[in-house]
Structure 1
């Protein structure tokens, strides 16, 4: 349950939110970011890897407060991308088991909102990745809230995956995607493949229902999906010839700022059919798109050798974190056209968001002075991982529109996670009532990856696997499971005693 308007709880002091200011935006500077224009709808998009722990409401609410109140009032929509939101058993069993985790974030948000109340419009998860959409005025959302998901963990399950929600806010469609990509330094190609799985497999309707009879009953051929989603249908288009490693490395777009042409053969699709497929994808031309998550892109493909120099938060240091960002894999791969095609990101000026070791005392901490004062959690970077900007928010504006960035920053370290939360705050325009976009944008913004028309069916199969795995994990690894096993043992012993006594 969220806090009611007017309820109060003492908040701890915030501890230095790191922010980025979009210096190219035509606005005047204000404390905490850039002053946003009044037109359009203001959003806050946050991503946080929860490390399977329930968030500490007063602490997280305190950190979130400055991000919420740093501009001219509260954002109208707050969207949270949450990875590893809960243990695998709860996550695989579904929403009922996650309500306590959702509620904690709702309480923290309303605590930070200083008396005003956000309403959870939609909570949706795929495995351990969840997407929460909160609104100050939910009545401004019209029509059906659309949702979609794709898993690319083991056997297509959602230990890694993406979940999407699309809303119509005052006549403007907004698409939000939360995702958790493959971990480990050496998995760069797999992360790129995960992104292709998101674009091709996350749809808001079943393509075979949208275009009945076009694709047949089953794929003619299959291939191993290197994204980890088991088998998948062959793409509808294949141009040229290249081996698997070349195909993974090759840019999908040329140049990176434009979209590739989608399928023209096997089966042949009419322009209207292509438009209908794109409209159920995350890249609907008339919708703004935000993708946030633990994207897991690192600054190296290997682990750090002993005594490596790590990024520093001291601006005077030769190892200041700004000197390491040129090694960021996400930026390199995006600009090369191999991942996150058509997406933009505000300038990153905050420090690495992963991987933090939380210490019991200030002694030996990177932030020893602040930790000794009690204003920050004592931490140091884990020695076996390069510090990296794994947690990001990217966006793509609707055709003919621009996304306006106010603040892009990170929240302070918390005890419950080895990641920092990252947030983006800005504004998107509402449609001009005198200008009709439908039909005008067709052909301008195209899919970088073909729609995987069989992903919807595979996801249903994977969901059944998740329920089995979730039940087994619940029984063997949780308090609820221990109670169940104990109860069954008592019942069995009672039955044996009764049967044995009756025989005597």
Structure 2
């Protein structure tokens, strides 16, 4: 007699991916109870209704983690420590079987942060060769836009080499008309966000694709390009558009105008990656802050916040990963984005031990190479980050919280000092004898 399908699932790792652009809110960007976002196992799902199971791996990514001048100044580490403590406590508090977790790695660059956790009874105790990486793709390689990554290896049975897991959190160039810049951003990330060589015999760093499993999340900023002859074109900046996309049928139609979907089909970006049915949830951006379901009329609502994935057994047409859940969380209202979460069931691990780490298969036409000047460019960007960030931070202090007022106060003070220096002694009149 065959075992029930849900029993066999225990041979397959469960990975939870969560992403949130917190709109520069800093410590105010998250509620204290994260159950809606980080405990999707409590939501209705055919898989989970028969199997109360905690994720084996939880990856949480943030974009616009804190005010930009503080991030550029390098002050994001203390905030990410605060987030780590909150997230870990919430994951464990809401785990279906009271499972415990450990932080595998955390990494932050300016406002882009990634934390990856493993369940103690499994992944956490077997994770090894942990690496973190970061790169900026803003002006002069600055980190106001860019990516951070975590990679680790999970050893196989009986000392087998096992498989590698790579998680990548990205924040790409915004605005509807800057599609080309987003494509360039991703290419820069592929070339510059690098990890250790695959073998000890090589000195060439490995790209994000040279891994067994790849998970990419973040505010990718791809927008809806609705053609002018579409019935919703004239309504795209109105609440009528918001009402129209309440319908899943309408959203499924609009997905054909999603920039990311169009470019992925062309093979210009996210080559080899797959995605769940993102149109089944409402656009994650741009909401009115403080509102659960009201969009701002300043932007066309779009699915800017996404989760993509790939594994070494994938084909170009389909993935071996089962997407159990992919949705946004409307109840979070402190940002103009809604957080997204995905629950992914990986394929069964091979029974026979392999002598080498399996990696993702890419088409012959796409074989990315590391940028030999990647480190130089990264640290050029970091120097600019610190210089601009510290100056901006000082001006903000001078302006009692406003950089613009700080600039005004600076020039006002400079003018007063200059006047005082050139003012003649004795009130401006020479004494006569």
Q: Return the TM-score normalized by structure 2.
A: 0.74
Whole-Å separation in 2 of the counterparts to 1:464 and 1:352 = 36
Secondary structure of the structure 2 residue equivalent to 1:416? coil
Match of 1:421 among 333, 339, 347: 339
Q: Kindly indicate whether the alpha-carbon contact (under 8 Å) linking 2:212 and 2:359 is maintained by their aligned counterparts in 1.
A: no
Q: Kindly indicate whether the alpha-carbon contact (under 8 Å) linking 2:142 and 2:382 is maintained by their aligned counterparts in 1.
A: yes
Change in Cα spacing, 1:316 to 1:148, as seen in structure 2 (3 Å) is: closer
Larger CA deviation: 424-433 vs 130-139: 424-433
Whole-Å separation in 1 of the counterparts to 2:42 and 2:102 = 15
The CA deviation at 1:59 is 4.1
Q: Normalized per residue, which structure has more helix?
A: 2
The CA deviation at 1:142 is 3.0
Find out whether 1:179 has 2:170 as its counterpart: yes
The CA deviation at 1:389 is 0.6
Match of 1:169 among 141, 150, 154: 154
RMSD: 3.5
Give the 5 Å matches for 1:221-236. Answer: none
List gaps (5 residues or longer) in structure 2: 156-161, 407-433
Q: Highest relative contact order (Cα 8 Å, sep 6+), 1 or 2?
A: 1
Find out whether 1:40 has 2:20 as its counterpart: no
Secondary structure of the structure 1 residue equivalent to 2:276? coil
Whole-Å separation in 2 of the counterparts to 1:117 and 1:39 = 19
The CA deviation at 1:150 is 1.3
Residue aligning to 2:39 = 65
Residue aligning to 1:99 = 81
Larger CA deviation: 413-422 vs 66-75: 66-75
Cα deviation code 1:360-397 (max 9, x no counterpart):
xxxxxxxxxxxxxxxxx544111121110111111111
Match of 1:281 among 207, 232, 252: 207
Q: How many residues align?
A: 368
Q: Kindly indicate whether the alpha-carbon contact (under 8 Å) linking 1:185 and 1:301 is maintained by their aligned counterparts in 2.
A: no
Q: Kindly indicate whether the alpha-carbon contact (under 8 Å) linking 1:403 and 1:428 is maintained by their aligned counterparts in 2.
A: yes
Match of 2:130 among 145, 157, 170: 145
Secondary structure of the structure 2 residue equivalent to 1:43? strand
Find out whether 1:402 has 2:320 as its counterpart: yes
Cα deviation code 1:12-70 (max 9, x no counterpart):
xxxxxxxxxxxxxxx97xxxxx9982222111011111112234334433443334665
Larger CA deviation: 409-418 vs 181-190: 409-418
The CA deviation at 1:152 is 0.5
Residue aligning to 2:297 = 383
Find out whether 1:340 has 2:270 as its counterpart: yes
The CA deviation at 1:481 is 8.8
Q: Kindly indicate whether the alpha-carbon contact (under 8 Å) linking 1:148 and 1:165 is maintained by their aligned counterparts in 2.
A: yes
Whole-Å separation in 1 of the counterparts to 2:190 and 2:392 = 30
Give the 5 Å matches for 1:180-259. Answer: 180-205=171-196
Change in Cα spacing, 1:184 to 1:139, as seen in structure 2 (3 Å) is: closer
Residue aligning to 1:51 = 23
Residue aligning to 2:428 = none
The CA deviation at 1:100 is 2.4
The CA deviation at 1:99 is 2.2
Larger CA deviation: 188-197 vs 83-92: 83-92
Find out whether 1:119 has 2:93 as its counterpart: no
Q: Kindly indicate whether the alpha-carbon contact (under 8 Å) linking 1:47 and 1:421 is maintained by their aligned counterparts in 2.
A: yes
Whole-Å separation in 1 of the counterparts to 2:355 and 2:281 = 36
Whole-Å separation in 2 of the counterparts to 1:479 and 1:134 = 40
The CA deviation at 1:337 is 1.0
Whole-Å separation in 1 of the counterparts to 2:7 and 2:112 = 32
Secondary structure of the structure 2 residue equivalent to 1:121? strand
Secondary structure of the structure 2 residue equivalent to 1:38? helix
The CA deviation at 1:444 is 6.4
Residue aligning to 1:290 = 215
Change in Cα spacing, 1:345 to 1:420, as seen in structure 2 (3 Å) is: same
Q: Kindly indicate whether the alpha-carbon contact (under 8 Å) linking 2:104 and 2:127 is maintained by their aligned counterparts in 1.
A: no
Q: Kindly indicate whether the alpha-carbon contact (under 8 Å) linking 2:20 and 2:62 is maintained by their aligned counterparts in 1.
A: yes
Q: Kindly indicate whether the alpha-carbon contact (under 8 Å) linking 1:358 and 1:379 is maintained by their aligned counterparts in 2.
A: no
Whole-Å separation in 2 of the counterparts to 1:380 and 1:136 = 37
List gaps (5 residues or longer) in structure 1: 1-26, 29-33, 212-271, 360-376, 486-504
Change in Cα spacing, 1:116 to 1:441, as seen in structure 2 (3 Å) is: closer
Change in Cα spacing, 1:59 to 1:45, as seen in structure 2 (3 Å) is: same
Q: Kindly indicate whether the alpha-carbon contact (under 8 Å) linking 1:85 and 1:101 is maintained by their aligned counterparts in 2.
A: no
Residue aligning to 2:420 = none
Whole-Å separation in 2 of the counterparts to 1:403 and 1:454 = 35
Cα deviation code 1:435-475 (max 9, x no counterpart):
42628869866654332111122102222222233333333
Q: Kindly indicate whether the alpha-carbon contact (under 8 Å) linking 1:289 and 1:395 is maintained by their aligned counterparts in 2.
A: yes
Residue aligning to 1:110 = 92
